[in-house]
């Protein structure tokens, strides 16, 4: 890997850690690349699809001329491993905020949970969470929500292609979900809870796939101070796609 390679176009597959923003991960990568390859100030780098701080997993970083591929990658279907907790809610629909509205779930059966999940496969109307990066009159919704302001989010169409690998150990339910661009898994968790009538929120989220790019081969070693890019294999840089 050379500076010329990077400016001609390169794709890195990162495994974003918990509590890092996507911006922080890309900035860390940019700093290391500039230091190691003496790249110019205007070196282009960006990620293809934001992950929330409380989510982990596949973050695709495009460098140089491959930044032009970002819109195409962002539009691709996504896959996530998901865990939700039934019978309680949070304002953020995930673990950022404390639990509220606890309800008895002793009457909830495994069959009810499976039936509820099945109802969300296909095209659905989904309202994004107030704690999201969507802009409202020029301001991020999460900034307004964290400031205590009331945020009105508009529903949108999205598609859930499949929900499988379901494991039920109440109050926890985990599954793999394939979905279209713009789907909020936090909202899906919340809506499943509403369907069951007892509430739910997202406890864990890990992105495993974007289009044909998979989490296998992605690295979090870029966080290490002594990390060197020559240790990366080509498969870590975008060549682990399905054939």
For the annotated catalytic residues, the residue numbers are 52
Report the greatest alpha carbon distance in the chain: 62
Distance CA 113, CA 200 (A): 11
Token readout for 57 is 């997993």
| CA of residue 184 relative to chain centroid, distance | 8
Token readout for 114 is 């499976």
Provide the pairing of β-strand 172-179 with 200-210: unpaired
Token readout for 123 is 């095209």
SS3 122: strand
Q: Which residues pair with 135 in a beta bridge?
A: 140
Q: What contacts 51, CB < 8 A, 6 or more positions away?
A: 16, 22, 57, 59, 207
Provide the pairing of β-strand 56-63 with 10-16: antiparallel
Q: How far is CA 22 from CA 61, 148, 226, in A?
A: 10, 24, 21
Element (H, E) at 87: none
Q: How far is CA 199 from CA 179, 193, 196, 236, in A?
A: 22, 4, 7, 39
């Amino acid at each position: 890997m050379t500076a010329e390679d990077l400016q001609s176009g390169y794709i890195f597959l990162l495994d974003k850690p918990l509590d890092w923003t996507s911006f922080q991960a890309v900035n860390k990568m940019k700093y290391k690349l500039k230091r190691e390859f003496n790249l110019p100030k205007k070196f282009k780098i960006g990620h293809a699809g934001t992950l929330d701080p409380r989510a982990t997993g596949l973050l695709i970083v495009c460098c140089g001329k491959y930044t032009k591929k970002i819109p195409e990658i962002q539009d691709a279907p996504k896959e996530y491993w998901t865990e939700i907790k039934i019978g309680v809610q949070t304002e953020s629909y995930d673990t950022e905020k404390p639990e509220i509205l606890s309800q008895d779930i002793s009457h909830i059966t495994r069959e009810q949970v499976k039936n509820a999940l099945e109802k969300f496969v296909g095209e659905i109307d989904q309202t994004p969470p107030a704690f999201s990066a969507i802009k409202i009159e020029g301001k991020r919704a999460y900034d307004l929500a964290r400031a205590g302001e009331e945020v009105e989010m508009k529903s949108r169409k999205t598609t859930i292609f499949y929900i499988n690998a379901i494991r039920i150990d109440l109050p926890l339910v985990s599954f793999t979900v394939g979905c279209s661009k713009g789907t909020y898994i936090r909202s899906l968790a919340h809506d499943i809870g509403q369907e069951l009538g007892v509430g739910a929120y997202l406890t864990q989220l890990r992105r495993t796939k974007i289009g044909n790019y998979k989490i296998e081969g992605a690295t979090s070693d870029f966080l290490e101070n002594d990390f060197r890019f020559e240790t990366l294999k080509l498969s870590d840089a975008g060549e682990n796609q399905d054939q």
